Amino acid sequence: MDKKHEILKAAFDIFCEKGYNLSVSELAGAVKIKTPSLYSHFGSKDEIIELVIRDEIQRYYASLTEKMLEVKSLSCKEAMKSLFVYVIKYFSKDNRIKFWRAIPFIQNQQLKSISTQLIVDNDRIFKQQMQICFSKGQSNGEIRLDASPGALRLYLCILQGVLDGMLLGSEELVDRSNVDELFEAYWDGIRVIGTN
């Protein structure tokens, strides 16, 4: 691994714990170089944080897009459940949940705006794909036709609630049987009676 990549990896780890309070001297120490040497690779702390954030946002949405393509041919129920489980698994690895939760607390407004816009743009695509899946579920008789648009928002809110619980350290929420129960409770509320 080259030094620049090593610095970005260490910055990710420190950002997970300290957020924007990441110290350049601590980062330099983590990769065993002197602070001035860090500036031969990057212009500023904000540049490092921006690169780390862009990389993680790109990694998450690229993997989510790949998963959405993988589940496209499944029934709506199986696709939604698979994505639900996938997102929870993604965020349960490598302190990712802590990393994402630190983004709203970035003090540099320009960096915060860049991060927010990247997330909003990518989330829009994810939500559009979920809406297509939901509509497909309604047209093929899996989801009640009278299920309100709020039912899809509820799915996203349940997922967000699990992620918030993970941040608080609730291992119970990421247990597979609990994840399955949560999804099944959601599905029972929107499915056509007489279907699974």
110-138 tens-digit pLDDT: 999 999 999 999 999 999 999 999 999 99
DSSP 109-142: HHHHHHHHHHHHHHHHHHHHHHHHHHHHHHHTTS
Q: Are 191 and 143 in contact (CB under 8 A)?
A: yes
186 beta partners: none
d(CA 68, CA 84): 11
* pLDDT in the model for residue 192: 85
* pLDDT in the model for residue 93: 86
Model pTM?
A: 0.89
Domain spanning 53-190: CATH 3.30.70.100: no
For residues 143-154, average pLDDT: 91
d(CA 157, CA 178): 16
d(CA 15, CA 12): 5
